[in-house]
Each structure stands twice: as C-alpha cells, then as structure tokens.
Amino acid sequence: MSRKYVVVDLETTGNTHDRGDRIIQFSAVVIENLQIVDQYTTFINPGIPIPPFIEELTGIHDGMVQDAPEFKDVATKINTLLQDAIFVAHNVIFDLRFLRNELEKEGYENIGLDSIDTVEFAKILFPTASSYKLSELAELLQLEHENPHQADSDALVTAELLLILIERTRSLPLITLEKLSDMAYSLKSDLYIIFQSILKEKRKNIENLQEDLEVFRGIALKKKMIPQKIHDERSLSYPISIEDKMDLLSHTKNFKLRTGQMEMMDIVYQSFLNNKIAVIEAGTGTGKTLGYLLPSLYFAITQKQPLIISTYTIQMQDQIFNEIVRLKEMIPFPFQTSTLKGRSNYINMLKFEQSLYDKDLHYDTVITKMQLLVWLVHTETGDMDELNVSSGGKLYKQRVKHDGWFFQKEKDPWLSHDFYMYARNLASCADLVITNHSMLLVDTEKDQNILPDYHYVVIDEAHNLEKAASNCFGKKLEYNGLKFWIGRLGTLDKNHIFNKLEKLLEKKGLSPSLHPFELEQLIIQLEMEIDDLFNMLGKKIVQQYERKSNKTTKQQLRITESMISDRKWLPIIICAERVYDYFRTISKELEQRLMLLKQENKNIADREQAFLAEMNSFFKDWLKIGEKIYQLLLKPSNEYVFWLEGDIRAIPNSIGIYAQPVNPGNELFNRFFNQKKSVVMTSATLTVNHSFDYFLKELGLPKEVVTEKVISSPFDYQKMVKLMIPSDLPEVRGTVNDEYIEAISSHIISLADATDGRMLVLFTSYDMLRKTYQLIKDSNALEDFILLAQGITGGSRTRLTRNFQQFNKSILFGTSSFWEGVDIPGEDLLCLVIVRLPFSPPDEPITAAKYELIKNNGKNPFSEFALPEAVIRFKQGFGRLIRTESDRGVVIVLDRRIETTSYGKNFINSIPNISIERGPLNNILSSIEKWL
C-alpha cells in the first residue's frame, strides 16, 4: 500500500469544458504510506465571470479570483504533482477529464493516470448509505467538512474518505476480498489496484475470522442468533395513574410531561383490553409514537399476544425504532421486537451464491454483486431494501430475491442460513412486530399468512390506509413491464431463462411435448401481439389529447362500460384475447417443463437447483401477469375503476392500464377489520371539521363500533404561526390560465424577497408547478436564489429536501408527495405557500368513479368526498411548517376560495386556532417582515 495517491477536487464555472467552462479553484491532497503529507490549493482566474448559481453553490465570487494566477501559470506545478501518482477524486471522470483538457491546452499531452473514484469505492464499501454525495458521506462518517463545494475542503474530505475506505477494505474477511478482487477488473476506475494490494498483504498473515462472522459455502456472513422467547414470570401491570407513568418515563433523556400522550396511552390500552376499534387524531408534538408503543408493549406481554405495529413510510419506521430504543431504557422488563416484510424483500442465498459463478461482466450487475458481498458481512436481516443500488442493480436484485422453494425446502443447502426463515423465527418470538401497510394488507390475501397469527394491531399514519388498500387491491399492466418479462424469458439465441431451461432439459434427456422452436415462435408471436395491443391503447390516449383544450402530454383516460360496449373497442378486446391465449399456452409449456425437472430432483446439482429456483420465481410472476391481462382487459369487475395512462410523446412505452377498487372500504372491512379483535388507528390528520365521519366512511367502518378521540397539539400555534390570505389575486375558476400563473408567480417573487427564501411552495398539479417555475426562472427576478423544483431540477424527494436545507436563499416547488412526510424543522423553513386548495381534479379516473357512485346513492359528491379529501390534504400541507416547539413561520394561501366560498371555513376550522390576516400583498409583506 506504499503507492502515492493525489486526491484532487476542482471548482469550475460549469460542467462542460468544450463550451468554455473553466477551473476557478484547484486543490490536491497528497497521500503517501497511507498518511496525508501535503495539500496544495489555489484559486484560478478563469477569464470569464462566475455564474450566480456557482457563486451561491461554492461561495467563490469574481473578486476572489481576479488577482489569482491563470491556469497556464500553475499548469507545470499541477503536472509535476500528478507524476507517478494514482489520481483520486469523488466522481473521478469529471475531475480527471476536465483537468486533462486544461493540461492538454497547455501542451501536457497523454496524461495517462491510474484513477480511483471514491463514489464507486463508497458504493461497494458502504452499500447501505442513503446517498454517495460527498457532504452526506462526510456526515455519515462524522468527517469535518467546513466548506462543502470549495475545492480545499472537498479534496481534504475526499482524502479522509479514501483512507477510511481502504481501512474498511482491510477489515473484510479474506474470502470476501478474494471475490471482490476478481470482480474489480470490471469497474470503471482502477480499484483493482487497492483490492489486489490488500489481498496480497492479507495472504501473508494467517487471519482469524471475526467472532460474529462465519463462512458458509465460500461466503462470509454475519452469524444469526435466534433469541429465546422471554417469559418474565413477574406479575406486570400497566401504569394506570399519571404518577406511575411519570415514574417510568422520567428516567429517559429529554423527557417532557405531555398530558395528551398520557391520555393516548390509556385509550390505546383500554381499546386492546376491551377488543375495540379506536381512531385517535394526535396533533403534532403529542408524542404519539411512544403514546401507542408503551401500552402496546404492556398489553402484548401481559396477554402473551404478539402485537403488530404498521406504518406507511420508511421514515416513520425509523422513528418507531428510535422510540423503541428509548423504551428499552425505561421499561423494567426485557422485550423483543422484530421487523417483517414480504418474502421477496429478502435475498435468496442459493441464487446469489450460484450467480457469483456467472461470467456476467455487465457493470451494474458486477457492482451490485460486490455491494452484496460486503453487505452480507454486516447485515443481520438479509432485507435487500437496506441496499442503495443503481436501477440496473435493481434488475439483478429481481434475480436473487427470495420466492419460496421449487423443490422441498429441505433440499436447499442454505436453509439453515435462510434470511426469510430467520425473520419469521424472530417474528414468532417477538412481542411487537413492525411492518408496513402494504405488507399488512397482502397478509390478508389467501395463502399469504406472512405475519405471525395476530389479533391486535396499531396502524400509524392511518390517513394512508385507504390509499394503501387501493394500491394493494389494485392491478396494473404496463408496456415496459411486459417487455421486461418477455426479455427475461428470451429466445433460444439469447442466454436467458428459456435458453437455459431448454439446455437443462436436453442435458437431463427430457423431452417436453412442444418442440423448443415451436415454443420460441409462440414467444415471438406474443411479443408482436403485445406491441399491437399497446399501440391501439396508445391511439385512444392520443385521441383524448387531441380533443382536450388544456393540453398536457401526460394523459389519463377512464375506461367506462359504455366505451367497452362501443364497437370501436372491439379490436382491442380481440387483440387482448390473442395475447391472453399466447400467455396461457406459454404458461402451460413452462409448467410442464418445470414439472419434468422436478421429478428429476435426485440428480440436480446446486447450480441447477439455483437456476430452477430463479425459474420458479419467474414463473409465479409470469402467471400473475396472465391473470392481470384477463382481469384488466377481458373480465373487468364493476367494483373497480379502470383507466389508461400514458405520455403521448412516448407511445407505446409509457402506456399502462390500471384498476383500483372504487370503494376499498368494503374489502378492507371484510378482509381486515372483521378478522381482528382490536385495531387502533392514529395520525395527525384524520378529522374534517373535528369529525371522523369521512375517514370512517372511506374505511367502511360503522361509526357505532369505533372509539373516537382528538388529542390537540400541545404547541402554542398562536405564537408560532400566522395564516395570510392575499386579497389581490384573481379568483380561481375552472382551468388555470396564463394570467393566473403570472399573478401567482409575481406573488411568489415578492414573498421570496420578504422571507429571504426558506420557502416551500405546494402545488396541486405538476403542469402548474412547471409553468410557474419556468416563468419565475425566465424573469431573472430571483437570480440570487436557488430554485429547486420536483421533477425539473432532478433528484428524489429526500435529495431535493436536503439541497433545500443546504442553502439559505432557497425555494422548493413541490406537488403530490411534498404535501406530507416532508420534515424540515427549525429555520430552514419559514414560509409555506399553498398555491391552490388541494381538490383532486374531477376528471381523474378514481375521483370521477367515486363521484358517480355517490350520485347514484342520491348524495352530493362535493360535500361527501371532494371537500373532506381536500381538507385532509390541506391539513397535511399545513403540518409541514411546524415540526418542533421552537419553529415559527407563516402560511400563505394564494387561493381566495378559502374565504370567498361557503365551504372555505371547513379548511380554517380543521387547523389549529391561529391568527389570520387578509389584505393586499403589500400589507401582508410588511406583516411578514415584522412577524419573522
């Protein structure tokens, strides 16, 4: 490991050297003998102005570089520095290419350097990191990072990161390192140099395996410990009085007495004791997670009943685990918790082991295999959701997912180390089992029974249960998905499942009734029919687009009974029948081949067994696709709403056909509530105008069987929030026109100046978000601000939120998913703008179908569904602003319907009691400045 590394970071005026972008700062950290020995940093005069975005990002402005040397003045020094070194950077392709271009311009040709990319290295060694951005890795590893996006700070942190990655590589077992070294030749940077030299070093010394690891069939993994079910013989009793609860809780850090939390504990406990259904709306700051965990735990242990806790988001799951850590500090008896997910979330070790022998040099597959090898040394769960893999890596994960056993499971050599079985064993010993809504609902399907037998459950984030049920009981068929499955099956000339299956049959001397060439023709024919079918469906989308005056390229088209009975729909049905027939014939042939091989189970090698497990998993998914073709196109149920969705710029690729129950409450009641003794549901947003009626109706629950409770937030909202409604905006009527968007944009610009950014702007439609963002950007009125927009500036919701928090003068434009679950506490968010009241568009397929159903029952769709749904969404949006008791800010509603309509008061009555200011924008701006 005595090589010299030079870790480089550049700040530039932009990403493209060929278009005239130049370096403004260069820094290089020299590492010798795994020690940082030197750092050279210089500003560089680029000879062009630094763009405002780069200035905001890096903090480097024209004044800082005007007296700096030009690149030609430092080129010799930089070239000398790089001699005989391995070039290292975080995203090495960018830095190395940019620097090469600059050096070549100064006459330094053919700079051939071995290079290491710390992004690639970190992906392998930290396979579960949520992000591989330098600032986030620095946070994860607690590295001091004083000036992110300045070359000196970035280069130093990258050098420290490199040393940590090398050290972490050294700590890996020899057997893992041998496999990684073999694969490293397929990577994009020259990481094989590091892997090989550490491997050489390790082979010189006899190594003892760490105590918590074992090697099984050539793979190092963490040992599994099955805990014994704890039987605490002491008589335990639930702490009924406030004093008893205080005795328990006051031992923990940051404990605050919250009477609402104590009240919630009693309601939860009594509901379980009396076999009741309860709904509890617990305002922000109540401490609801502990409010249900503590009574759930006492009930589970005293009644010797496993208790399920279900939530909707991973973020909430993390919060539950943090509270469980606190519970362990305060509870005077031992208890066990576990997490359980669907089988396909877990890795199938036989498939993974055998896939290591494949000579697949596809980059995404190789790096994902390397990530998995490192992960297996650390994971206790085998839950592949822990991994952060590329989209190509997700395809590989499909291959190695667990999906049951083709032969008797006893034939699986990995059975004693099987992660899914381990998770089931842990769950059977646990007092509390944590899961998610979709898993909870999948478990209600026949032949599933993934969760241990249970009768008591807490549903957190319960406002999402109906949505989870719609998705779980719903069905979808997408063109790209179908092409993916046919691609996985393949034809005889491709080394995919079909080809491998035929080779195995031939090897075993087995002859199915249909010749391989005939089956191949069926597969080819099926693919052609699918293309025809989705092209026809695409034409329906295009026709709708042409009819609409409000032209957005993404279209939804509801499939109604009258549409299906029209003769113009007949060619689609005839084509769908052909697709279904081919599907069925191919399914029968695949099943016959699998059965022939199953009878051969005595002389099947491990390699063949792993392939058959993969084939069996594929076959199960293939059968489900056939069912969906039948249910979506040939035998649609009148209890479901059906629609097409697609983008007219990408037909047939973007086309999908979807179905969801119009009223999932019926199914929920029969399959779930009716089967349980007690269910407690909680969330911060369940009531409309202090009533649970809408929520209960959506879930199909009769009011008389439910205990209802609203626990108000302990926060003093009067002192924390002001609601402001500008009066000088056009009224919202029907479609949104350019004049309305101009008015909204100019208000947002003025508000941004008054609040100095730190503003979240919530839209109800992506089209309106895009137009507003574009108008503000083109106006250059907010040149000093960082504008981040969902679906435009790139990145996931989490990444956009993090970027928003990173800059002072930032504005985040969000729609749909930003109305809930986004947590931006403190001064990072001071202003929340709600552009329109969040009514669902009445022509959305599900909304339209619900309207029809309500009308047919003689009721008013607006008051029964549209209004309460919008109020709950509004409450969720409002809840983004105040997350902790020290937060302050303003909420601005740019939709005058909140005060000019009779229903507007429903929105105001459903949020905490706060002061409201109405008036022209100028008055509001001066109020905001005073208030903040």
* Residues in contact with 62: Cβ distance below 8 Å, sequence separation at least 6, in sequence order: 49, 50
Q: Is the peptide bond before 838 cis (omega within 30 degrees of 0)?
A: no
Pairing of strands 706-711, 475-478: unpaired
Q: Nearest Cα to 507, choosing from 406, 405, 608?
A: 608
* Residues in contact with 210: Cβ distance below 8 Å, sequence separation at least 6, in sequence order: 173
Q: In this structure, what are the phi and psi dihedrals at residue 301, rounded to the nearest 5 degrees?
A: -80, -45
Type of residue at 170 = R
DSSP H or E stretch at residue 558: strand 554-559
Question: How far is it, in rounded angstroms, from Cα 96 to Cα 75?
Answer: 14
Q: Is position 814 annotated in a ligand binding site?
A: no
Half-sphere exposure of 451 (CA within 13 A, CB side): 27
* Residues in contact with 593: Cβ distance below 8 Å, sequence separation at least 6, in sequence order: 501, 505, 510, 512
Type of residue at 777 = K
H helices, E strands: number in the chain: 37, 25
Name the 3-class secondary structure at 493: coil
Question: How far is it, in rounded angstroms, from Cα 562 to Cα 568?
Answer: 11
Q: Is position 12 annotated in a ligand binding site?
A: no
Cβ atoms within 10 Å, residue 532: 16
Q: Nearest Cα to 892, choosing from 718, 722, 724, 719?
A: 724
CB 299 within 8 A of CB 269: yes
DSSP H or E stretch at residue 640: strand 640-647
Question: How far is it, in rounded angstroms, from Cα 299 to Cα 313?
Answer: 25
Q: Is position 289 annotated in a ligand binding site?
A: yes
Q: Is position 757 annotated in a ligand binding site?
A: no
E runs forming strands in 775-869: 786-789, 810-814, 831-834
DSSP string for residues in 674-727: GG-SEEEEEES---BTTB-HHHHHHTT--GGGEEEEEE--SS-HHHHEEEEEES
Cα separations in angstroms, 33 against 24, 152, 397: 30, 21, 38
Q: In this structure, what are the phi and psi dihedrals at residue 834, rounded to the nearest 5 degrees?
A: -105, 110
Residue that has been written with the tokens 């552009």 in this structure? 835
Question: How far is it, in rounded angstroms, from Cα 687 to Cα 693?
Answer: 8
- In the sheet with 35-43, reading across from the earlier edge strand, the strands are 35-43, 23-32, 5-12, 86-89, 115-117
Question: How far is it, in rounded angstroms, from Cα 44 to Cα 24?
Answer: 5
Question: How far is it, in rounded angstroms, from Cα 475 to Cα 242?
Answer: 48
Q: Is position 282 annotated in a ligand binding site?
A: yes
Q: For the chain, how long is the longest CA-to-CA vector?
A: 87
Residues in the chain, overall count: 932
Q: Residue 261 class from Cβ within 10 Å (0-12 exposed, 13-18 middle, 19+ buried)?
A: buried
> Helix-strand-coil percent breakdown of the chain, rounded to 5?
50, 15, 35
Question: How far is it, in rounded angstroms, from Cα 806 to Cα 812?
Answer: 12
Cα separations in angstroms, 61 against 9, 10, 11, 689: 18, 15, 12, 52
CB 826 within 8 A of CB 858: no
Give the residue ranges of the annotated binding site for ATP: 282-289
Give the residue ranges of the annotated binding site: 282-289
